[in-house]
Chain A
Amino acid sequence: MEINNSVLQELGEQVVLDEEGNSRKVSLFWQMERAVLVFVRHFG
């Protein structure tokens, strides 16, 4: 599966939470700098 623009767009719309429970849109990560997103299986 290629990561085309629509997939990237959809990914950017996803919201993640920090330790305090604050939400952040994923697209913000690569807005100002190259983002290396590592998705881990689980935190356990």
Chain B
Amino acid sequence: MLCRQQVAELAKQDDAFTQRNARLVVIGNGAPDVLKPFRKATGYSGLLYTDPTLGVYKTLSLKKSVGSLFGMQSFKQGVRSLKEGFVPGGIQGNALQQGGALIVGTDDTVHYFHRNREAGDHPPIEDMLAACETSDILLSSPV
């Protein structure tokens, strides 16, 4: 349930991003009918979309591998577990897809990019908030 936790945390920070003149957009993968239940589970009320084709993940080269699922430290244990017949429930091809975060300004400036190296390696919210504090137009007054 790592992703629900991550987005539940983000849901609390939605205002913090808006205050910094930024818009949080959560994008996942799978069919659109998983979006409503996900909203309920996380309490997230912001922009929420899905990319069933995984086009965004491929474009950003977000990792997709068994190695990144378990993390190199526990990789050997992971392989051992698989050999012993333990398959984490519900893991399918797309569940091996890792995530990331990208912050883009209106002038196409990339202010932040994080590529998750393994499960649980989420982009720190503080870093993302800090990346929203740089101005790309000299209209915002200092906080």
Q: In the complex, what residue of chain A is closest to B14 when comparing beta carbons?
A: A36
Question: Interface on B for A, CB 8 Å cutoff?
Answer: 1-3, 6-7, 10, 17, 20-30, 32-39, 47-53, 55-57, 59-62, 90, 94-95, 97-106, 108, 110-113, 115-116, 119, 123, 128, 132, 136
Q: A34-B103, A36-B22, A37-B103 are in contact. Are A43 and B34 (CB under 8 A)?
A: yes
Q: Which of B39, B98, B108 contacts A5 (CB 8 A)?
A: B108
Which bracket fits the contact residues of A? Answer: 20 to 34
Q: A30-B106, A43-B3 are in contact. Are A16 and B56 (CB under 8 A)?
A: yes
Q: In the complex, what residue of chain A is closest to B54 when comparing beta carbons?
A: A14
